[in-house]
Structure 1
Amino acid sequence: MEIIFLEHPVHSSSAALTAVPKTVAIGHFDGVHRGHQNVIQRSIAAAKAEGLQSSVMTFHPHPKEVLGQGSQYVTCLTPLEEKVQRFLRLGVDVVYIVKFDLGFSVVTPPEFVDDVLRPLQVKKAIVGFDFTFGSRGAGKASTLRSLGEPDIRVEVVEPLKQDGEKVSSTLIRESLAEGRPEVASQLLGAPYEVHGTVIHGEGRGRTIGFPTANIELEAAYVQPKQGVYAIMAEIEGKLIAGVLNLGVKPTFHEQLPKPVLEAHLFDFDGDIYGKSIAIQFISFLRSERKFGSIDELIHQIQSDAEQARAVLAAYNK
């Protein structure tokens, strides 16, 4: 798979890197959820059927972040690097990452088609039903179809639904905020996952019999509801079950500046300081609360660990 960064207008040298007729799935694709996967897989299938190259076009950063239309878009379900890896696993030939800045925000729909799609030799564009493009979202799928004639065909993919609701990044964000990672997992097609590095914490967990891995996140991920979770952690390719607290540790602190992630990994005692770790949120166990004593906290952690083991044993069957 090739990864190509683009700016408007597409320079001839960039176009030349993949100067063959192709299909393209276009979208921001935050989370690369099941609905996004459906759009991308249509692009791959069409390319195979017609002997074309398959590609995905995404935009970075999020348009609403650049235009200041929503603080929620400062956070993401999948940072760019993870998004690209998911595209790779789906099997696309080329990923185009278009720089979205204030200059690109005023590109008109005709300019997008003539200055971006045509130089890349796009023969078929696959988009979601709610696709918009161009300055102020003026262009819709129907606009793309009319501007693309006669050389660019357009396929519009209808929404994927789960339990009567449209699979969307917004619904995933809401599910995580409500402490429903199981729902988010169903929408994503995999557990919600964050990546970071294991760092030194306060060292308190080891003194009470529950050593923890303190995690510094590598990106501004969407934060799930604060509380205790059953998790799976991946370190150096190995999956390890555990329990995680996401919160401000009110038993020990009046107020931390931001929530911290502390994971207790079951049946594991390796030295992982400085190593990369991925955390999969499997199930929400309870909200964070302040305890009246250390003994009360230890008793609750023991209960949390037992509950997490039971949940994960069923999950990993």
Structure 2
Amino acid sequence: MQVIEIRHPYHQEQLPNEPMVLVLGFFDGVHKGHQKVIETGRKKANELGIKLGVMTFNQHPSIVFKKIAPHSMKYLTTVKQKAELMAQQDVDYLFVVDFTSGFASLAPQAFVDQYIVDWQAKVVVAGFDYTYGPKEIAAMEHLPTYAQQRFEVITVPKETLTGEKVSSTRIRQALALGEMEEVNTMLGYEYVTEGLVVHGDARGRELGFPTANIQTKSTVRLPKEGVYVTEILIGETWYPSMGSIGRNDTFEKNRPVTVEVNIFDFHEDIYGEHVEVRWLDYLRDQEAYPSVEALITQLQLDEKNSRAYFTNR
């Protein structure tokens, strides 16, 4: 898969000179609903014998429209993670468009002419709720009018789980509650965050539970504070582990939130490593314990429960 970064106004030579099926969406999380849209595009591209392209954005449109500050936006997936998931969907071209004020100011017809027709899209595929401007004039139902019979439009209906639409919003809500089974079911894969292993205060080691302290970007959306069954990717190997998102209130109040992972049966130094963490199952809330001994007892139980999860997996 080729990743092509586009900044408005773009140069035509940046684009592949061939017809394609073009799938539109922001795709935060690349969840089952998104996968259904992309699969629809893949099927159509196969039928026509042409390439499949997907257009996404480098940042959420809400930032440009001043609905949310850049540092407050928490994503389910980074652009890098999106690209990896798109590659698994057999996408040929991933177009990452810089969502700037110049791009956002395009009228619907201009968007269609410059970002669909000029891209040689023969078919456009998007979810039922995709918009390319103000909803009242730029919803999917209006796209055939702007198309002027120059390309086919395929609108994909919503994907549901337990009677409700699978959406990035619903996944964020489930993450905030620590409902990892629901999160991972809607995603179709296990939720992953990335980060850098940095030095911490070494309290875990003193307790007999050494942890990798993982520095995550401010734009990464973490599950709710608590203790989880996790897996951690170091190099090319996934290791069973248990993870903590919290403030270590047993030792000090009002500490910043940290991500720490205790890796089972692992004894190597991994400072400076870029790692990934899969969040598999929620074990318990964070709480301050009356003594270090009480905390150690709880950690031993957490480890027992985590190992049991992997045994019964």
- Please give the secondary structure, in 1, of the residue aligned with 2:272: coil
When normalised by structure 2's length, the TM-score is 0.96
Match for 1:100: what amino acid? F
Instruction: Give the equivalent residue in structure 1 for 2:6.
Output: 6
1:301 partner SS: helix
Cα distance per residue 1:189-237 (max 9 Å; x no partner) = 1111001111111011111211111001146211211010011111111
For residue 162 of structure 1, what is the aligned residue in structure 2? Answer: 161
CA distance in 2 between counterparts of 1:22 and 1:209 reads 56
- Give 1:137 deviation, angstroms: 7.0
Which among 266, 279, 282 is matched to residue 264 of structure 2?
266
Amino acid at match of 2:225: Q
- Paired residue for 2:118? 119
* AA at the equivalent of 1:202: D
- Give the percent of matched residue pairs that are identical in Structure 1 and Structure 2: 34
Structure 1 Cα separation of the partners of residues 218 and 235 of structure 2: 19
Q: Is 2:56–2:95's contact at 8 Å kept on the other side of the alignment?
A: yes
| Distance in 1 of aligned mates of 2:213 and 2:9 | 44
Residues 72, 219 of structure 2: 8 Å contact kept: no
Name whichever of 195-204 and 214-223 sits farther off.
214-223
What TM-score results when the alignment is normalised by the length of structure 1?
A: 0.95
Which residue does the alignment assign to 1:41? 39
Aligned to 1:279: 277
In structure 2, the partner of 1:86 is: 85
Work out whether residues 197 and 218 of structure 1, in 8 Å CA contact, stay in contact via their aligned partners in 2: no
C-alpha contact (below 8 Å) 2:193/2:222 kept by paired residues: no
Unaligned runs of at least 5 residues, structure 1: none
Q: Deviations over 1:223-265 (max 9, x none)?
A: 2110100111111111111111100110011111x31011111
Matches within 5 A, 1:1-317: 1-15=1-15, 18-70=16-68, 74-134=73-133, 138-218=137-217, 220-256=219-255, 258-315=256-313
Unaligned runs of 5+ in 2: none
Aligned partner letter, 1:143: H
Query: Using a 3 Å threshold, how does the CA distance of structure 1 residues 218 and 236 change in structure 2: closer, same or farther?
Result: farther
